[in-house]
């Protein structure tokens, strides 16, 4: 119940913040950055959107309701992907859990929310392998299959790929949003021009507006 109140409250604050935090015309190297080397995408005529995040990150947890609502609103306009990243060894079990559940076809929005809730509401850091195994089993996941996948070569390769993508996209903080392999922005970056945001909800509202701008820009460039 506490988490549901948090989600509803975050969404209401985000809507209210739109009127007080509004980047007029996002500028390159201010509210967003253009990658020096564009990255390959496989989204066809749709715009690819990647969120670089970490389950342990409180800002990622706070941004998730706003981001999920934005993705739903975009619908077929985009292809949305999440990419778990980490520079800390203590976050590795969470990262491997993300890729394990992905490989097993079990990582949907509901599971993503459960993981965030477990960490930030129930304060289970899941920073050891056994803790990740226990959590997965409690969600009804076959424990042995989860462990085998978790320890497999595929998940190890996914972790290495996430580190490579982190470098390619210049990700140095999170959450960060990449648009169609060309542009990156974040709640913090979206506030760089106006410096008007005074709450996290206002940062999120600004980020959504910059993301809308970049999706429209990327879509126009595909024509």
Which has the minimum average pLDDT: 21-30, 55-64, 197-206?
21-30
22 pLDDT band, cuts 50/70/90, is low
In angstroms, rounded to a whole number, what is the distance separating the alpha carbons of residues 187 and 14? 12
Average pLDDT of every residue of the chain: 92
The class that CATH gives domain 2-221 is alpha beta
Distance set, CA 168 to CA 60, 67, 171, 179 (Å): 20, 23, 8, 13
* Residues 202-213 pLDDT 10s: 999 999 999 999
Any idea what DSSP says for residue 56? T
Helix H or strand E segment including 74: helix 58-74
- Beta-sheet strand order (sheet of 47-53): 33-34, 183-185, 176-179, 47-53, 78-84
Whole-model pTM: value is 0.88
* Residues 128-163 pLDDT 10s: 999 999 999 999 999 999 999 999 999 999 999 999
Which has the minimum average pLDDT: 22-36, 130-144, 166-180?
22-36
Task: Determine the pLDDT at residue 90.
Answer: 85
Mean pLDDT of 183-204: 95
Q: Where are the domains of the chain?
A: 2-221
């Amino acid at each position: 119940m506490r988490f549901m109140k948090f989600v509803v409250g975050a969404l209401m604050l985000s809507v209210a913040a739109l009127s007080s935090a509004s980047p007029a015309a996002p500028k390159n190297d201010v509210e967003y950055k253009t990658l020096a080397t564009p990255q390959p995408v496989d989204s066809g005529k749709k715009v690819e959107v990647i969120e670089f995040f970490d389950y342990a990150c409180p800002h990622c947890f706070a941004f998730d309701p706003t981001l999920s609502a934005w993705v739903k609103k975009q619908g077929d306009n985009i292809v949305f992907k999440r990419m778990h990243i980490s520079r800390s060894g203590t976050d590795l079990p969470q990262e491997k859990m993300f890729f394990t559940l992905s490989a097993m076809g079990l990582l949907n929005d509901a599971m993503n929310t459960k993981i965030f809730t477990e960490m930030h509401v129930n304060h289970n850091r899941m920073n050891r392998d056994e803790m990740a195994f226990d959590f997965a089993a409690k969600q009804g996941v076959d424990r042995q299959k989860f462990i085998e996948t978790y320890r497999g070569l595929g998940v190890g390769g996914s972790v290495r790929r996430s580190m490579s993508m982190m470098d390619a996209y210049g990700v140095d903080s999170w959450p960060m949003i990449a648009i169609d392999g060309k542009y990156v922005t974040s709640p913090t970056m979206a506030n760089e021009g106006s410096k008007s945001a005074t709450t996290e909800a206002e940062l999120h509202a600004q980020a959504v507006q910059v993301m809308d701008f970049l999706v429209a820009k990327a879509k126009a460039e595909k024509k």
